[in-house]
């Protein structure tokens, strides 16, 4: 059944399992309906039921929909956005449950890395981090939580842009709360989680929530390796093993910052233009392996240090820096001591800025993990910490802790075993049925 997009909500039938999903740029579902800009942020414009698949191949037995809704770009200009919302297959929509807003590490301009595409059956997104992260997000569904996964980089893949991830994630939460099949309420308790590029997007989400979406009951956020200072990361990674990642940021931000766009247009060599174009079309893993050890200096007509020292570039980096607004929910920040991508100094600074603003931050550093291993190893801790916040448990006084491994505890070991079970279910396409205890625990806390 289809209704007018503004007078009601358009609803599309589920796609057949053998039909390949369209890329976002060619998908009519994402075309803005007439009059959408006049609607309040978070207004649901269209809905459709979809089929999820691990790596686009193994169908997943979960309830999944996509919502097109009204949101904004970094300047506050209205635009449409999309989120993928999920429930366990056997979930009763009448049952009280929390909502997890998970921000993926899209880390790409390439549209095939958008969660709304990469998570679907038939998607061809080899090298997308989001497809790997599904193995972890599935653990939240087994707890009985509802999940929203917004395309927080927007329709143009604005990786690294400030504020935009917050608008899209928060409006995606609003849309999820209004979507009847999820059975959520306006006072539903909300948790926020993300790692690396997803941690950066989650940081923007909780920084912007107090002023942009104060009605949302966000009870806690886990920020894993959340970048902190993108300008510092850019300088450290240039010319190194992970030089492809800042190259993707450059490819994205050149459209948003005139100073950067002018430098790239006027001072890049011919090879430099090819380098940026390659980064723009790469997946995160494609950029890491294909653009390693590249130096921007080799593609510019003057030294990079001279370029980024200009007032225009410093103003851009100041705009990108996190921690200048204070979240009001408790935070758990996780960071590898020997992170080869996001240096600990930048995250230390972000945590310090939050605390100076009055935020309650628990900061855990891990000695043995590096950037790519901490996300799976910290998933049990992250979910258990969020479950405590959702259940109304006190968070304590925060503080700093440096451990050998976040997995080296009975809770961590049990959680990793449970993750193995969940991963096996995902890999085999078995039903992700909810466990009753976590949802019952949260419902009991609400009643109290």
Q: Print the SS3 string covering 305-372.
A: HHHHCCHHHHHHHHHHCCCCCCCCCCEEEEEECCCCCCCHHHHHHHHHHHHHCCCCEEEEEECCCCHH
Place of tokens 């917050």: 166
Q: Do residues 192 and 255 share a domain? A: no
**Judgement on whether residues 311 and 334 belong to the same structural domain of the protein:** no
In this structure, the strands spanning 189-195 and 146-150 are unpaired
| Any domain includes 235 | no
Within a domain: 3: no
How many Å separate Cα 396 from the centre of its chain?
A: 27
One domain for residues 370 and 300: no
Q: Answer yes or no: do 264 and 350 share one domain.
A: no
Instruction: Provide the whole-model pTM.
Output: 0.93
Tell me the backbone φ, ψ of residue 266, rounded to 5 degrees.
-100, -25
pLDDT for residue 343 is more than 70:
yes
Residue 234 lies in a domain: no
Residue 161 lies in a domain: yes
Dist CA 9 CA 1 (whole Å): 10
pLDDT of res. 398 = 84
d(CA 64, CA 87): 7
Q: Which residues contact 265 (CB under 8 A, 6 or more apart)?
A: none
Most confident segment among 245-259, 340-354, 422-436 = 340-354
What is the domain range of residue 17? 10-229+322-447
d(CA 154, CA 164): 8
Question: Tell me, what's the pLDDT at 5?
Answer: 45
The answer on 190 and 174 residing in a single domain is yes
Closest Cα to residue 413, out of 364, 386, 441, 380?
A: 380
Q: State the CATH number of the domain containing residue 127.
A: 3.40.50.1820
- In the prediction, which pLDDT does 18 show? 47
Mean pLDDT for all residues in the chain: 90
Whether the CB-CB separation of 359 and 331 falls below 8 Å is answered with yes
Considering the domain architecture, whether residues 212 and 272 belong to the same structural domain is answered as: no
In the chain, the percentage of residues whose pLDDT exceeds 70 is: 93
Confidence of residue 441 (pLDDT cuts 50, 70, 90): low
Using a 10 angstrom Cβ sphere, with 0-12 exposed, 13-18 middle and 19 or more buried, the burial of residue 266 is exposed
Q: How many residues does the chain have?
A: 448
Domain total for the chain? 2
Radius of gyration of the chain (CA): 21
Query: Which tens digit of pLDDT belongs to each residue from 191-215?
Result: 999 999 999 999 999 999 999 999 9
Regarding whether 196 and 214 lie in a shared domain, the answer is yes
Residues 6+ apart with CB under 8 A from 117: 21, 23, 24, 111, 123, 125
CA distances from 298 to 237, 238, 270, 294, 306 (A): 15, 11, 11, 8, 13
Domain boundary among 319, 347, 367: 319
Please, what's the b/e burial string for 199-238 (b: 16 or more CB within 10 A of its CB; e: otherwise)?
bbbbbbbbbbbeebbeebebbbbbbbbbbbbbbbbbbbbb
* Domain end point (choices 290, 319, 348): 319
For the chain, first and last CA: distance in Å? 41
Residue 39 and residue 165 in one domain: yes
Phi-psi region of 352 (alpha: psi -120 to 50; beta: other; left: phi over 0): alpha
Domain boundary among 302, 319, 336: 319
291 shares a domain with 366:
no
Q: What is the pLDDT, as a whole number, of residue 246?
A: 85
370 assigned to some structural domain = yes
Taking the C-alpha atoms of residue 326 and residue 85, their distance in angstroms, rounded to an integer, is: 27
Q: Is residue 2 one of the residues assigned to a domain?
A: no
In this prediction, residue 236 carries a pLDDT of: 87
Strand 78-88 and strand 58-59: pairing? unpaired
Q: State the pairing for strand pair 189-195/10-12.
A: unpaired
Whether residue 327 sits in one domain with residue 249: no
Number of neighbouring beta carbons within 10 Å of residue 49: 14
């Amino acid at each position: 059944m289809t209704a007018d997009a503004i007078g009601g909500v358009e609803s599309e039938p589920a796609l057949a399992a053998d039909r390949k999903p369209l890329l976002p740029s060619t998908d009519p579902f994402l075309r803005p309906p007439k009059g959408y800009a006049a609607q309040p942020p978070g207004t649901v414009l269209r809905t459709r039921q979809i089929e999820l698949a691990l790596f686009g191949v193994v169908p997943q037995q979960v309830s999944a929909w996509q919502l097109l809704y009204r949101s904004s770009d970094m300047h506050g200009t209205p635009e449409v956005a999309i989120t993928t919302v999920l429930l366990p297959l056997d979930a009763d929509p009448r049952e009280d449950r929390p909502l997890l807003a998970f921000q993926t590490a899209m880390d790409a301009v390439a549209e095939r890395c958008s969660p709304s595409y990469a998570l679907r059956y038939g998607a061809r997104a080899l090298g997308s981090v989001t497809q790997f992260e599904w193995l972890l997000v599935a653990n939240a569904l087994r707890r009985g939580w509802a999940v929203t996964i917004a395309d927080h980089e927007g329709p143009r893949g604005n990786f690294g842009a400030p504020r935009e991830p917050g608008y899209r994630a928060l409006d995606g939460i609003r849309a999820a709360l209004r979507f009847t099949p999820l059975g959520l309420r306006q006072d539903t308790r909300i948790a926020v989680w993300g790692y690396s590029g997803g941690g950066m997007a989650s940081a923007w989400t909780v920084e912007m929530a107090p002023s942009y979406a104060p009605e949302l009951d966000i009870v806690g956020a886990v920020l894993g390796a959340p970048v902190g200072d993108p300008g510092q990361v850019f300088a450290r990674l240039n010319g190194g093993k992970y030089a492809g990642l800042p190259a993707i940021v450059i490819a994205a931000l050149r459209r948003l910052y005139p100073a950067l766009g002018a430098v790239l247009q006027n001072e890049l060599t011919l090879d430099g233009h090819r380098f940026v174009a390659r980064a723009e079309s790469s997946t995160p893993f494609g950029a890491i392996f294909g653009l390693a050890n590249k130096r921007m200096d080799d593609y510019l007509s003057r030294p990079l240090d001279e370029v980024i020292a200009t007032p225009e570039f410093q103003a851009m980096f100041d705009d990108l820096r996190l921690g200048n607004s204070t979240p009001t929910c408790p935070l758990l920040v996780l960071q590898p001591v020997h992170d080869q991508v996001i240096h600990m100094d930048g995250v230390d600074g972000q945590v310090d800025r939050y605390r100076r603003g009055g935020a309650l931050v628990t900061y855990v550093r891990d000695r043995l993990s590096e950037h790519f291993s901490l996300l799976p190893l910290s998933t049990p801790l992250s979910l258990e910490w969020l479950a405590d916040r959702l259940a109304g448990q006190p968070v304590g006084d925060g503080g700093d802790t440096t451990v050998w491994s976040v997995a080296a505890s009975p809770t961590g070991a049990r959680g990793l075993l449970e993750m193995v079970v969940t991963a096996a279910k995902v890999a085999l396409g078995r039903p992700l049925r909810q466990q009753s205890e976590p949802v019952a625990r949260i419902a009991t806390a609400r009643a109290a």
